[in-house]
């Protein structure tokens, strides 16, 4: 039976980066024309709108790729989500290049004078060209004997991505549980979690002897399988179906959790991740994850 146009099952969320451009009436009209969508609801004037629409690939509604390509020309992000169950009760977030604007291990290596060497291994690992655990061991091994004070130096370079605090604190305020789960290091995740307000954090632990790095990581290594395991564990612990969970990340080590979560978002992600995950934020900020859940800007907790 054909779906009734009066009761659309999905919502197109269209978002502009408010510091770079503005969502226009023409953009909204184009979105409605492309999707056969209903009346728009403004979530943030000039920044975000939601439009009820049929499921992607049904009737006149295209799959997400043509929509994303159309609006990428205007540096807008388009995400289609199911209308039912939009607000998630669990957030599991990657840290490096997702919640923060850098790769903390690369910054640590830069202070150690071996930045380019380690950054190339990171690139290969995050794009799925190299096994995550092998890449982590190789990179950390290159830090053997370096002074542990480099950790503090690297921390001074860490900046939260725009919208990180709003994302975490808004979801917390509305009863969601939030977890920072990273293949990076607890030295950084503990501090980032505190700054953002995450309920818990999990990462790898660098081994230090005296005041120097040993070049080793405490076992077991937190990699792709562990991220997925944390997602499943937290959903179960909080009485949630996996469809009630949101995951966000940018690298190949995030793919397993992004695929399984009810809403998995590839955030400014590596090419291999963008090829695999349909819900993407390529132009805007972490605020888009709140708009995707139906929050209006007036609901945000800063």
Would you name the residues annotated as active-site residues? 94, 96
Cα-trace Rg, the chain? 20
Asked whether the beta carbons of 95 and 182 are under 8 A apart, the reply is yes
DSSP annotation string for 36-96: T----EEEETTTEEEEEEPPTTSTTPPPHHHHHHHHHTTTEEEEEEESTT-S-SEEEE--T
Closest CA to 143 of 120, 113, 186: 113
Asked if residue 247 lies in contact with residue 265, where contact means CB atoms within 8 angstroms, the answer is yes
Report the C-alpha gap between 107 and 185 in whole angstroms: 12
Q: Which residues pair with 267 in a beta bridge?
A: 281
- Residue 16 is inside which H or E element, if any? strand 10-16
> What does DSSP say about strands 245-249 and 90-93: parallel, antiparallel, or unpaired?
parallel
């Amino acid at each position: 039976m054909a779906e009734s146009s009066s009761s659309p099952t999905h919502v197109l969320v269209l978002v502009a980066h408010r510091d770079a451009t503005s969502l226009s009436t023409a953009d909204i009209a184009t979105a409605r024309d492309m999707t056969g969508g209903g009346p728009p609801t403004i979530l943030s004037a000039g920044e975000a709108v939601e439009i009820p629409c049929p499921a992607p690939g049904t009737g006149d509604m295209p799959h997400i790729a043509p929509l994303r390509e159309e609006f990428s020309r205007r540096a807008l992000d388009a995400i289609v989500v199911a209308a039912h169950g939009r607000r998630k009760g669990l957030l599991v977030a990657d840290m490096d290049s997702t919640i923060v604007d850098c790769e903390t291990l690369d910054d640590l290596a830069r202070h150690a004078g071996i930045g380019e060497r380690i950054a190339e291994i990171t690139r290969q690992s995050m794009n799925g060209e190299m096994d995550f655990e092998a890449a982590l061991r190789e990179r950390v091994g290159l830090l053997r004997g370096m002074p542990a004070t480099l950790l503090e130096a690297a921390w001074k370079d860490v900046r939260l991505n725009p919208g990180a605090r709003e994302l975490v604190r808004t979801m917390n305020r509305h009863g969601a549980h939030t977890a920072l789960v990273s293949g990076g290091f607890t030295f950084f995740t503990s501090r980032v979690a505190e700054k953002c307000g995450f309920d818990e954090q999990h990462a790898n632990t660098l081994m230090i002897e005296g005041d120097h790095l040993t070049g080793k990581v405490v076992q077991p290594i937190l990699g792709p399988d562990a991220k997925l395991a944390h997602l499943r564990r937290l959903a179960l612990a909080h009485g949630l179906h996996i469809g009630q969970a949101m995951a966000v990340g940018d690298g190949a080590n995030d793919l397993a959790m992004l695929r399984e979560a009810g809403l998995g978002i590839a955030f400014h992600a590596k090419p291999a991740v963008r090829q695999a995950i349909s819900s993407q934020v390529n132009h805007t900020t972490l605020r888009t994850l709140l708009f995707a859940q139906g929050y209006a800007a007036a609901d945000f907790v800063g």
